[in-house]
Amino acid sequence: PQPVQAPRGAPNILLVLLDDVGFGATSTFGGPCQTPTLQQLANHGLKYNRFHTTALCSPTRAALITGRNHHTAHTGVITEAATGFPGYDSVMQKDTATVAEVLKQNGYGTAWFGKNHNVPDWQSSQAGPFDLWPTGLGFDHFYGFIGGDTSQWRPAVTEGTKPIEPYLGKPDYNFDYDMADQATKWIQMQKAVAPDKPFFCYYAPGATHAPHHPRQAWVEKYKGKFDQGWDKLREETFARQKKLGVIPADTKLTPRAPGIQAWDTCTPEEQKVYARFMEVYAGYLEQTDHSIGRVVQAIKDLGQLDNTM
């Protein structure tokens, strides 16, 4: 019997989802964190300035991979806070198929790398069941972590449904780098073994959700870059966004939100700590952009970039 085959020339798809990245974070949208890979993609594609999320991990992810309202996907809240009500029970039913399931049934190879946070909390152990894990939702391959966050130095990694410890014997291990390596190897394997078969690669790094664990070199790039404080930084980002056209020229900057103290009222010790927080965050975001760039470059090296969404 002939297997299902995708239409001739069907495009590959690389879907990247970043966590806790605000509208004013990336340099591509006027922010202070350098994202050359995102900029490269924007230069050859589209930038949206009215793209909405649910502002929570699990619901946004469920909505993204199913194309449905997060309540329809049973994920009105993060999986750890699930209740017995249908829109909030975190049990994504079989009639709520993921985009991977749809593509798989139309001849695509499918894989999920990185953060999951869509498995019901009480089904996330080795006791299973595993039908709502990525490999039960239309993904041929999964390499990542099931919960909401994990250490990037010693992560709780699962391959398929099996826990592994990829950091053993690797003192400089960092999951973000490993994840890019694994995604690259999978894409290369797909095109080596079945060159005419399109792939769907869902790439969801831990960044920039806590814990912020970039390699030190990325953090040092931002040393002193945030000493001006958040009030001044908002003004700088706002001005760049106007210049880039991602917000209208007549936009008014909103007042600082109630409950957030003015930077000038912070003690010198607080300013030092908060500036350091931002240096680490920015380093983490740029490192992640770099890792995504490695995956994009691998697709380019295979001659597949022009046929990849």
Task: Tell me which residues are annotated as active site.
Answer: 57, 117
- Sign (positive or negative) of CA dihedral 53, 71, 103, 57: positive
Amino acid at residue number 28: T
Output the six-digit token pair for 192: 């080596």
Using alpha carbons, select from 95, 309, 42 the residue that is nearest to residue 202.
309
- Rounded to whole angstroms, how far apart are CA atoms 205 and 309? 18
- Sign (positive or negative) of CA dihedral 272, 278, 281, 286: negative
Q: Cβ neighbours of residue 260 under 8 Å, at least 6 residues apart?
A: 230
Query: What burial class does residue 166 get, using C-beta atoms within 10 Å of its C-beta: 0-12 exposed, 13-18 middle, 19+ buried?
Result: middle
Contact (Cβ atoms closer than 8 angstroms) between residue 287 and residue 215: yes
Longest CA–CA span in the chain (Å) reads: 73
